[in-house]
Amino acid sequence: MIVQITLIKNELFLLKEIIPQWQKYVDAFVFMDDNSDDGTYEYLIENKEKFNILNVLRTNTGKDELAIESNIRQRLFDEAFKHSGNIICLDTDEYLDGTMNKQELESILDSNTDTLFHAQWIQYTDKNQIRVDGPWRHNLKDRIGSYRNKVSFKDAQMHSEHLPVPAKQAIIPTPAIFIAHLQWLDKKTVAIKQYFWKITDYVNRLKFNAKTIPASAYDASVNNFNWEYADIAFPLQVDPSVYSKQDINNNYKYQFIKEKIKEFNIPNLNDWGMGIH
């Protein structure tokens, strides 16, 4: 059995689109809801039987607490490990695709225990188009693991590994399997997402003296929207305009940005001229 673990917050509109794609490779799910208030938690509970959701955990992180991402992901992993050592970890804006089917993937996992598998992280910008400038041309991510024993994550306040690292690591090559990433489909949405992390880092440094990555890392990721593109033979499996289904003003990241700018009098940290700040 393959179990998927996912950390989710206020992404119900996206969850409904992508969960059928997740079912292509997994048998069951464990979710961690991070204080959603858009109906995500209620939807997961109501559909536990339909999607074979084994558990829906909650972070229960308070406003004045520093969330430690590796601790949250450890809880997710430990819950899934109660049911299977074959674990996939995906964010709500990711799904697996490729020529390999579920039975073939499960056979690989069963034959290679204590192994973390990396796969190509493909950055969709449209139905048949991907982003290939800079680090996005070739980027491997940890999303698939086979575990005989429970493994601990390395401590990380943010940007934790998605799965803990066991004894061995390997790559599943493209096109057998790859990770389809939706992040860059809508420029306004992705700008808000990346700026949200800048503001989050600013606040965490101010309130908790937390170690964070420099804002320039987010600038490098966005590359001022000067992107290079390539065609791909695997069409996107969700509606490329999926992000238009959410009103930007209801985006919790956008609301957080506005709230924290006002609360801490934060200067413009470079919002790429998108009018976010």
Percent of the chain with pLDDT over 70: 100
Position 210 scores a pLDDT of 87
How confident is the model over 137-141, as a mean pLDDT? 95
Spell out the long-range contacts of 238-242 with Cβ–Cβ below 8 A and sequence spacing 24 or more.
Answer: 238/17, 238/18, 238/21, 238/95, 238/182, 239/17, 240/124, 240/126, 240/127, 240/185, 241/185, 241/186, 242/13, 242/14, 242/17, 242/182, 242/185
Residue 66, pLDDT above cutoff 90: no
Question: Class assignment of domain 2-181?
Answer: alpha beta
226-260 tens-digit pLDDT: 999 999 999 999 999 999 988 888 899 999 999 99
Q: How far is CA 198 from CA 97, 125, 130, 194, 195, in A?
A: 31, 23, 25, 7, 5
How confident is the prediction for the chain on average, in pLDDT? 95
Domain span(s) for CATH 3.90.550.10 in the chain: 2-181
Q: In this structure, what token pair is assigned to residue 20?
A: 């059928």
175-220 tens-digit pLDDT: 999 999 999 999 999 999 999 999 999 999 998 898 888 889 999 9
How confident is the model over 138-165, as a mean pLDDT? 95
Q: Which of 32-41, 100-109, 116-125, 211-220 is least confident?
A: 211-220
Percent of the chain with pLDDT over 90: 89
Spatial distance between the Cα atoms of 93 and 243, rounded to a whole number of angstroms: 10
Look up tokens 């590359």; give the residue: 223
Residue 165, pLDDT above cutoff 90: yes
Position 246 scores a pLDDT of 87
How confident is the model over 166-178, as a mean pLDDT? 97
What SS3 state is found at 271?
coil
Spatial distance between the Cα atoms of 112 and 107, rounded to a whole number of angstroms: 9
Position 102 scores a pLDDT of 97
CB contact at 8 A, 40 and 15: yes
pTM (two decimals): 0.94
**Cβ burial 92-126 (10 Å sphere, 16+ → b, else e):** bbbbbbbebeeeebbebbeeebebbbbbbbbbbbb
Position 91 scores a pLDDT of 97
